[in-house]
Chain A
Amino acid sequence: MNGLMESVSPQVFVIDDDPSILVALKRLLNSAGYEARTFTSPREFLACHDADVPGCAVVDVGMDELSGIALQERLSLGDNPRPIVFVTACDDVRVSVQAMKAGAIDFLSKPVSDVALLSAVRSALELDHKGREERRELAELRHRYGMLTLREREVMAQILRGRLNKQIAYDLGIVEKTAKVHRGRVMEKMEVRSVAALTHIAERLGLYAS
């Protein structure tokens, strides 16, 4: 059930055009037990970026070729949006509001204190981890639902509406015993024991919306 993502430890990607800041931030992150990789430009970072690797990015807002905000737009695309902690040397309120609205974890002013940076990184990594877990679970649930036959899906829809086997059999024009077998298959394939748990899964799969 666990994919190969679990085997890769989370990374902190630090992107800043100032090499001495990169070195210092990497040291700080390492000293707090994080693995950090540094890049002097967004381009360099994007060139070898793998969205499947868990982790977060610490990005300087003011960089020449591609601004931090533009990088944020690029990273938010795709299945695995990467959480971003911004650091900036110029206090531009407009930019910070824009960044926070676009879902940045935090917007820290340089010089940034270790407590603030590390706690932002911690919550970014937690968010990334939680997001990945959720996405993986959802994928798993979708997979289970995909295993159901058409008839079983019909039966599942009836179960979710709280119908009894007798009513289901009547509605679908089958005998009650067959309906009972279908119900057993649905519960087995969806790996649940109660209707309540099945309802929960259906909610997560968004079956009620359709």
Chain B
Amino acid sequence: MKKFTAEKGLVMPLDRANVDTDYIIPKQFLKSIKRTGFGKNLFDEARYLDKGLPDQECTGRPLNPDFVSNQPRYQGASILLARENFGCGSSREHAPWALDDFGIRCVIAPSYADIFFNNCVKNGILLIVLDEKMVDQLFQETAATPGYTLNVDLAAQTIGKPDGSTIKFDVETSRKHILLNGLDDIGLTMQHADAIRAFEKSYKEKAPWLFA
């Protein structure tokens, strides 16, 4: 699995609460049987002015000039600044796949939806939770400073700001470990195969109808 250790990158602000995964990647692109190639359709309905189709070349499509990803100052951003409950709705892992394929390695927001949170960890994307005031301040600084860049260090759990100050952030130790090492979690679970078999054996005695 993809690692996340550190990311120094341009910040792109998406000033909108309750961004759902339909908004991140609309349904028509979920017909793909691949894991890659979703980046050009990230935020498709907000980013383009026309209706996007699967397998469509996107270079000639009319862009929504108001949308952040189309503004020259945010080109090449790798850190997304977002609002509360980011990633709510559908469980589609195509949402983190699209963020990743677009080049977003880290999201900073006050809160996230649970399923989306898990899906991001599986794809080496770091989701940082900061309190609303701090996120507000980052929105203001990003807007006021073209080329606003943050320096995220997962091991140290710090975000370095352009003025030299740092913000500390919390991360669950298990998730930190997985992200830093890019661990294959199926492989990790398989190390407990004996425990799973032992569980199944005793469980079968307690609930035989589930194994009939």
A in complex with B: no
Q: Which residues of B contact A (CB under 8 A)?
A: none
